[in-house]
Every structure is written in structure tokens, then in C-alpha cells.
Structure 1
Amino acid sequence: MEWTIKKFNDLTLDELYEICKVRYEVFACEQKIHKENDLDYIDKESFHLFLQNKNEIVAYARLIPKGLLYNEASIGRVLVVNEYRRQGIASKLVKKAVECIKKEFKEEHIVLSSQLYAKDLYKRHGFKVISDIYNQVDIPHVKMKLF
């Protein structure tokens, strides 16, 4: 399996299709998120980090430059496909995402909106909770920051 990071315009059509497919599977089909359009203008300005097994994407995160969503760079749309969970891939994904933001964006501070159940994953990588619990698309979240 191989990690890839690309700007939106550098993605192949097959890669873009696979990204859209796994995001739909995880966020719409599994988590029943239908109140927010998954595809937004932020995709075009972001880097896309993904892990592939053959031609299938098994893990993904969107790396967002500062100023688009928050005053800091951020990580979003974090996912691991169901069949690949509980293998440590999510932790490797977060580590790689932080490394890529530091390298590509030259940023040290990173913000994200974590689903409440996943906050410990980010805590293990140095993120700290900086908000009370809030609902986003009917799912409890907390805002977290890497200082």
C-alpha cells in the first residue's frame, strides 16, 4: 500500500472518482450525513492525502490551507474504509497528514473538527480539545488544535 498526496488539479480522474466514492460510502451511507454537501469549493484548494491498495483508496484526508475554513491549516474528511479499520491506519493517516501540512503549507498550528468518538485518536498526536461539544450534521464534535 502506498501513500499519495496531490493537489486537486493533479488528481487523475480515477483518483478523483475513488475519493468521491469512499467519501460517499463512509459519510453518506455509513454515517447518514445528508444535511451537508460533501463536495464543496474547499476540495479545489486543498491537498488530498490517500492510501491505496492496488487501485482502491482505503484511507483519505483532506488537507486545507489556512484561511479557507479556519485561521489555521486544517485536516478534514478523515476516513478509513470499513474493511481496513482497527489496523492502525487511522493513526498513520493523522501522522502523515500533520507531516504533509508542516511540509507543504509550512504551518505548525493545525485545527480540526473531530467527531467526539474519535478525539482520542487526535489526542495521541498532540491535538488538544479547544471547544465544548457541539453538533455538526447531528453528530457530536469537538474542535481540536495542534499547537
Structure 2
Amino acid sequence: MKIKVKTFSELTKQELYDLLQLRSEVFVVEQDCVYQDIDGKDQKALHVLGFKNNKLIAYTRVFKPGDYFNEASIGRVVVAKKERQFKYGFDIMEASIKAIKDHYNETLIKISAQCYLKKFYKDLGFKEKGEEYLEDDIPHIAMVKD
């Protein structure tokens, strides 16, 4: 998988279309969750895009401290369903952690994780913080990595 890290203004129209399509495909259709994905925060984020054979298959967006949480953060973590067997989730998360270090010189990262993915994030060094909560009717938990 080839990784690109871009600001919102650096994204091509096709990349923006593809990342919104992938997010919708997974978060809205696959997870059967109606929510406002286009939330006005993409303009502040760094976008971490994972390509395989020139097709977007994995994605996250990352924020510097204060733009989403008080800490640097990673969100909208997504891998195309047919590509999950190849562990690209780890690759895109490691690239996102590196992007936060490289662009913001930060190592403390907070995420809002879907609860069924706790083990995945723990394997990347994140620890649970606080109690579970509902976000868009899906159980989540705050997790931090320092």
C-alpha cells in the first residue's frame, strides 16, 4: 500500500471524492448508520490516504491538538471491506501516528474508538480512558497513546 499525507487544499477533486465515497461506503452503508460525515472538520485535518493499484483502500484524518480534542487525534479510520484481510488498518494507523509526529511533533494521541475495535487499537499502543459511550448509536470508548 502506498501512503500519501495531504492537507485539505492539497487533495485533488478525485481524491476528495474517493475518500468521501469510502467513508460513506463503510460508515453509512456497511454500518447502517445515518450520521453527518461531512462535518466541517475536513478542512482542518491532514488526510492520510492508502492506495493499492492506484485505488484508495484505506484512509484516516488526523488533527493537531485543539482542532478536535485537546490532544492530537486520529479519526475516520477506514479500510475497504475487501481489503481488511491484508492488515492495512495497522499500516494506515502507523502512517497516521507518524504523520502526527512529523507534522505536529506530538506523541500524545486521543481517539474515539468503536468498542469492537478495542483490541486493534490496544495492539497499536492505545489504552482505554473512561467509560463507554454512544456516538451515533454505536458504542465507543476514548483511547489514548503517549
Match of 1:51 in 2: 50
Residues 26-77 of structure 1: per-residue CA shift (max 9 Å, x gap): 011011221x310122100100001112332100001112112110010000
Match of 2:109 in 1: 110
Unaligned runs of 5+ in 2: none
Please give the TM-score of this superposition, normalised by the length of structure 2.
0.96
Match of 2:14 in 1: 14
Q: Provide the rounded CA distance (Å) in 1 between the counterparts of 2:22 and 2:62.
A: 16
Task: Tell whether the 8 Å contact from 1:112 to 1:144 is kept in structure 2 after alignment.
Answer: yes
Q: Provide the rounded CA distance (Å) in 1 between the counterparts of 2:53 and 2:41.
A: 27
1:85 lines up with 2:84 in the alignment: yes
* Aligned residue identity for 1:5: V
Please give the TM-score of this superposition, normalised by the length of structure 1.
0.95
Measured on the aligned residues, the alpha-carbon RMSD in Å equals: 1.0
Match of 1:60 in 2: 59
The structure 1 segments of at least 4 consecutive aligned residues displaced by more than 4 Å after TM superposition are none
Tell me which moved more, 123-132 or 48-57: 48-57
Q: How many residues align?
A: 146
Q: Provide the rounded CA distance (Å) in 2 between the counterparts of 1:81 and 1:14.
A: 17
Unaligned runs of 5+ in 1: none
* Aligned residue identity for 2:90: S
Residues 110-138 of structure 1: per-residue CA shift (max 9 Å, x gap): 00000001111111111100011111111
